[in-house]
Amino acid sequence: MKKSNRIELKKELCSSIEKDVIAFLNYKEGGIIYIGIDTETGKAVTVKEIGEKQIQIKERLKNNISPSILGLFDVIIEKKDNINIIKIIIAAGNERPYYLKKQGMSSEGCYIREDAKSQPMPTKMIEELFAKRTRNSLGKIESPKNKLTFEQLKIYYNSKGTNLKANFASNLELLTKTGEFNYVAYLLSDKNSTSIKVAKYAGTNRIDLIENNEFGFCSLLKSTKQTLDKLDVENRTFTKITPKQRDEKKMFNAIALREAVVNAIVHNDYTNEVPPKFELFEDRIEITSTGGLPIGFSEEEFFSGYSFPRNKELMRIFKDLKFVEHLGSGIPRILEKYSKSAFKITDNFLKITLPVELSKNELKNAKKKTYKADNKIMDAILDNKYITIKEIMKKTSLSKGTVQWQITKLKEKGVIERKGSNKMGYWNVLKT
């Protein structure tokens, strides 16, 4: 492990950590800082009180650097040589120049990565970067509605063990500088005009539309979860039993599909009010987000996994709630299973096409052998009208997301209804 323009090594946490982070924020490719690496040997060394230091770093970066960099960095613990070290991932920011608050926007406060070192930024560069600073980010655009509620957002944070306090809107950067709700707040509120479409076609073109699902007019978090659940249902499993073993193969790689979906939603350019769309064909799925690549970001940098969040506020919240693993992880995980040819990048759109991984015969047999999930669930309910979701999952071997999705569809079709509470109620079958 060696130092470079994108990598900084430190044996222990030091007072200059903010300077190096600022240098990477101002560098077009971002960078990574490893704490717990001997700079002479490149080998891992023990970091004392590593958990406390991880928390200290997060607080220092949050409080000592301006503009806000929440959503632009990640501090994780990983193993090297069987020793835990700290890894700080820094994305390139779009509000450059970043600087030390106590030094201000000056050569003493601004740094840039150059020759594998963090160097003071010349005054001329500071002025040029400030003149180009992006001002149309979602965090700066005022919400079209003033009265917003966030019950769904609170539920998601509660599920991860965090209770949002009264000042959560400020802490999560959901306010403009004047104290009004911004467009990020609007997207995450309980009611908005954004809707994600998931269309399904019978063949390989758009002639025969057989399903047109719409998930939206609610928190973008809920829309994302509904989209992931729907695509999980559609990502059917083909089972092939041989004398030696039982082989299972999904239509699409589940990890790559999830990464592609979340990336499209988090990095979509919502300033033009066009959400991402998902289209299922017989031989592929197409995932299209608007906006293309951020200005100044090349395809080479994109495929290398350099992170340049278009919507840093969304990225921070999606990362908080574990929709995103860590900065820069999405594209490399997709490329582990699919080639660069799966991506089509234009000035205004980014499309990812994932081909069905089954052969034509396998797909044909999978369709024949697939016992529809809703039929399995109906059989379970007809056997026991008091059956719970967990019991249905156990009896049908279906995932929680699939069961919940199919029950929702059965309710919408008027096939079943729920009487009473989730614990004490029962299923009323309206038609079979």
> Do residue 13 and residue 124 come from a single domain?
yes
The CATH number covering residue 112 comes to 3.30.950.30
174 found inside a domain: no
Last residue of a domain, one of 103, 132, 161: 132
Rounded to whole angstroms, the Cα distance separating 197 from 302 reads 26
Are the CB atoms for 74 and 318 separated by under 8 Å? no
> Do residue 202 and residue 294 come from a single domain?
yes
pLDDT at 412: 82
**Domains held by the chain: number:** 3
Rounded to whole angstroms, the Cα distance separating 165 from 177 reads 20
The CATH number covering residue 406 comes to 1.10.10.10
> Do residue 398 and residue 320 come from a single domain?
no
Are the CB atoms for 333 and 228 separated by under 8 Å? no
163 found inside a domain: no
> Do residue 357 and residue 376 come from a single domain?
no
27 found inside a domain: yes
> Do residue 351 and residue 386 come from a single domain?
no
pLDDT at 342: 96
Residue 38 structural domain = 7-132
200 found inside a domain: yes
Are the CB atoms for 105 and 128 separated by under 8 Å? no
146 found inside a domain: no
The CATH number covering residue 249 comes to 3.30.565.60
Give mean pLDDT in consecutive 10-residue pieces for the chain, a chain of 432 residues: 92 94 94 94 94 96 95 95 96 93 95 94 93 79 95 96 95 95 97 95 91 93 95 80 65 95 95 93 95 82 84 94 89 94 94 85 55 75 89 86 84 87 86 68
> Do residue 386 and residue 304 come from a single domain?
no
327 found inside a domain: yes
> Do residue 72 and residue 217 come from a single domain?
no
pLDDT at 364: 60
> Do residue 200 and residue 349 come from a single domain?
yes
**Closest C-alpha among 197, 226, 223 to residue 212:** 197
pLDDT at 371: 44
- Report the relative pairing of strands 284-290 and 349-355 from DSSP bridges: antiparallel
pLDDT at 365: 59
Last residue of a domain, one of 311, 326, 361: 361
Rounded to whole angstroms, the Cα distance separating 54 from 56 reads 5
323 found inside a domain: yes
Rounded to whole angstroms, the Cα distance separating 54 from 77 reads 8
> Do residue 217 and residue 102 come from a single domain?
no
pLDDT at 431: 73
Q: What is the pTM of this model?
A: 0.76
175 found inside a domain: no
pLDDT at 375: 80
Number of H helices, E strands in the chain: 15, 18
> Do residue 201 and residue 349 come from a single domain?
yes
> Do residue 348 and residue 247 come from a single domain?
yes
> Do residue 392 and residue 355 come from a single domain?
no
Last residue of a domain, one of 311, 342, 361: 361
